[in-house]
């Protein structure tokens, strides 16, 4: 059976993980879970979660072509999303059976990664410093890809609609 996760379910799961592991640092979480991270030539793929059944061990492969640390960190967080949300699924069978389901699982892993890398608590801690920053400035401030900030915007309504539509993209109201 394939579990269906809503954004709210994923956010709650991430909050429990943050409590359990005491960090949102993806490399520390991998270390605590004994997940090995390697860089390989993955062709078009940015990352891959592999389970070695014989050893009951997980490996996260990141594409060696991705040289930017921010993107690599997101890829590791994304693969951790698959680990925590989908590790009991055979991803290759899913991909071959349904493109829609595959896209849904990828979307869930992206939400997981965004919530892990930028938890609400972190936003609250920096509220005063970030309240007038643009999306790109926020991404730079937190050292994250802009799509993570955009996800948080959609979840928390960080940016006013008016400013989003005019392209100014200033944070003017944060309600956490």
* 146/154 Cα distance (integer angstroms): 13
Q: Annotated catalytic, 46?
A: no
For residue 68, what pLDDT is reported?
Answer: 84
Query: How many structural domains is the chain composed of?
Result: 2
Look at residue 150 and tell me if it is in a domain.
yes
Does residue 82 share a domain with residue 62?
yes
* Sequence-separated (6 or more) residues with CB below 8 Å from residue 16: none
Does residue 148 share a domain with residue 111?
no
Residues 77, 26 contacting (CB under 8 angstroms): yes
pLDDT digits 0-9 by tens, 7-39: 899 999 999 999 999 999 999 999 999 999 999
pLDDT digits 0-9 by tens, 64-73: 887 788 899 9
Give the residue numbers spanning the domain of 150.
Answer: 122-166
Q: Where are the beta strands (DSSP E) in the chain?
A: 36-40, 47-52, 57-63
* 9/116 Cα distance (integer angstroms): 13
pLDDT digits 0-9 by tens, 54-113: 998 999 999 988 778 889 999 999 999 999 998 877 665 555 566 777 788 999 999 999
For residue 162, what pLDDT is reported?
Answer: 40
* 6/4 Cα distance (integer angstroms): 7
* Catalytic residue (one of 54, 79, 115, 125): 79
Does residue 93 share a domain with residue 32?
yes
């Amino acid at each position: 059976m394939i579990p269906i996760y809503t954004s709210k379910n994923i956010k709650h799961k991430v909050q429990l993980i943050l409590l359990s592991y005491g960090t949102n640092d993806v490399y520390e979480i991998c270390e605590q879970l004994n997940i090995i991270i390697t860089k390989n030539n993955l062709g078009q793929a940015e990352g891959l979660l592999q389970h070695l059944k014989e050893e009951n061990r997980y490996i996260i492969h990141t594409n060696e072509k991705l040289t930017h640390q921010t993107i690599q960190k997101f890829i590791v967080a994304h693969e951790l999303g698959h680990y925590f949300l989908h590790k009991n699924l055979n991803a290759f069978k899913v991909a071959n059976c349904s493109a829609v389901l595959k896209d849904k699982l990828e979307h869930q892993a992206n939400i997981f990664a965004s919530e892990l890398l930028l938890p609400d608590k972190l936003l609250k801690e920096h509220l005063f410093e970030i309240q007038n920053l643009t999306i790109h400035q926020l991404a730079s401030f937190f050292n994250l890809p802009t799509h993570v900030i955009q996800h948080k915007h959609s979840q928390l309504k960080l940016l006013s609609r008016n400013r989003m539509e005019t392209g100014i993209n200033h944070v003017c109201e944060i309600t956490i």
